[in-house]
Chain A
Amino acid sequence: MTKGRSIRHVAAERVFFTLFFLLACLCPLLPVTETCAQEGRDRAASLSGEAAKLSDAGNLERAVEVCREAVKADPAYPEAYDQLGYLLFRKGSFDEAVGAFKSALRINQGMRTSRTGLGLALLKTGDTQGAEAVLREALSMNPYPSMTHYALGLVHEKKGDYEKAVLEFKEGIRTFRSGKR
């Protein structure tokens, strides 16, 4: 028994020392990991800004490339996916845009712009029902976005329900004018 206790004791000691050793080794690395993450975020934000400039200058192809680099630089940065989604949407790559918006929402469910973008992209892929559901969610998160009303208007228009389309577009105009965009 004494021997058995001694063996357990030794094992526990070994585990304790191994853990201690590992912690001792990793502790100095923790700030480095944080720094790396911050560097990745900064680079992604910078690339994102560059992509926006390229897009404004009409260079959509290059803007998409740079935005993809931003996503690679920090795969946990939802804004880059959101931007990529809108760029792909403008490019007419609707399926890819759906993927990008979904990625943004996987990281941050509260990304209203991504939800609206997803609705718009789904509508373009022909998924009218899916688009409507997503846009209604977006609207419940913020009752004022003119863009979401615009997108919902498009859904109703596609369904041939012009009465509802008129209501949504008018609501979009009203919210835009009230400054609650």
Chain B
Amino acid sequence: MRSTRSGRHFFVWPALVFALTFFLAYSVSAQALLQTGSQAPSFSLQDLEGGTVSLSDHAQKKAVVILFWSTWSANSGKALKRFEDFHRKYRDKGIQILGINTDNQTLSPEDVVQIKAVVRGLGITFPSLLDRGLATFRAYGTIALPSTVVITGGRISYELPGLPLVATEDMFDYLSVLAGDPPRKKMEKMYEPVHAAIADTNLARGFVRKKMSVMAYPLFRKAIEKDPKYILPYVELAKLLEAEGNAQEAVETLNKALSVSPDSVVVMSELGYLLVKTGKLKEAVDILGKAAAKNSYTPSHYYYAYALGKDGNMKEALPSFEAALSLNPFEPSIFLLRAELYENGAMLKEASADYKKALALMLNVKE
């Protein structure tokens, strides 16, 4: 964003376009960095040759870059090629790329043959791992395919869902600087949440999982006090409040988050979803429409679709559900929300199919 300031004396269209694209890049990164600072979940996965590769094997590297990809996602091939180029250039500079395939919950031998064919066809030389059961995909909270996670010093330092044009270039700039290259352009210092705020948030999430919400509330609030710019505790606190029937306070919490980070697609999306649940459909459609237009946070698509459907616009809702599914077909919520709309519309065959799919994903069973 700052780099465009030099162009403010020349009010010409290219400069404006440049400014806009950098603005978008910044907002995408900002929303995607929800997990930044968190400990990277460990994993041990099989590679295509049958060997085992663990995250801990690369603990000495400057950075480990995980690319979650699938053979069926539109941009995975492009992402793999891009990372292969990077790998060839920087393989000896302490940056380890690991491709993690997430084609399906259960992989048949035919699936593996297909994955190998794609990897060979693209000439991929960095390790390609198979995430059978998708445990690693879920542990990293992946919301879209492809998705990239950068780990430095055992912590997540960068996340990028999808392969958005400008944000991808920013990420490769970040990686080449990590590898020791001089910065290509003036780079803004990346936001890093205060460690104590991360710790409190993680602890609070643990209490939520154990259904000990009384313990979680003060910790989320402390995390917000310690780092008001850290979005995750606002979002988690709002979810907890809503789940416990305090929707009004949940909306207030997310509005506070929005005042701190007005471009956060995550906050816009979660707030929009909450508005749907509290019956404020017009407001919800408005804010979710804006969030979905940024095309960088998968839930924004299916929340928007849900809002449209609830508002009686099923025709427009369905393509947004499809957009979400094309990014992440492993998210049960997409099927659940669509099923609810079908059920309300007395389309029971379709509702049954979607509820079935959601439950199959939860139970991790192959249909």
Contact = CB atoms under 8 A, between A and B. Distances in A.
Nearest to B353: A157
* Max chain A C-beta neighbours (<10 A), residue from B107, B130, B336, B358: B358
A146 to B, nearest CB: 6
Interface stretch (B178-186, B229-237, B294-302, B343-351): B343-351
Given A150-B365, A173-B362, A58 B355 contact: no
A169 B46 contact: no
B361 to A, nearest CB: 10
Interface of B: 46, 106-109, 112, 130, 132-133, 336, 339, 343, 348-349, 351-353, 355-356, 358-360, 362-363, 365-366
B359 A153 contact: yes
B366 to A, nearest CB: 7
Given A90-B366, A162-B349, A173-B336, A153 B356 contact: yes
A172 interface: yes
A21 B326 CA distance: 78
B348 A163 contact: yes
B363 A147 contact: yes
A176 to B, nearest CB: 5
A156 B363 CA distance: 19
Contacts of B351: 162, 166
Nearest to B343: A166
A155 B358 CA distance: 17
Nearest to B360: A150
A150 B356 contact: yes
A152 to B, nearest CB: 11
Contacts of A58: 106-109, 112, 130, 132
Given A90-B366, A146-B362, A56 B133 contact: yes
A154 B366 CA distance: 13
B109 A153 contact: no
Contacts of A173: 336, 355, 358-359, 362
Nearest to A181: B363
A156 B356 CA distance: 11
Contact of B363 (A57, A150, A170): A150
A74 B359 CA distance: 35
B355 A57 contact: no
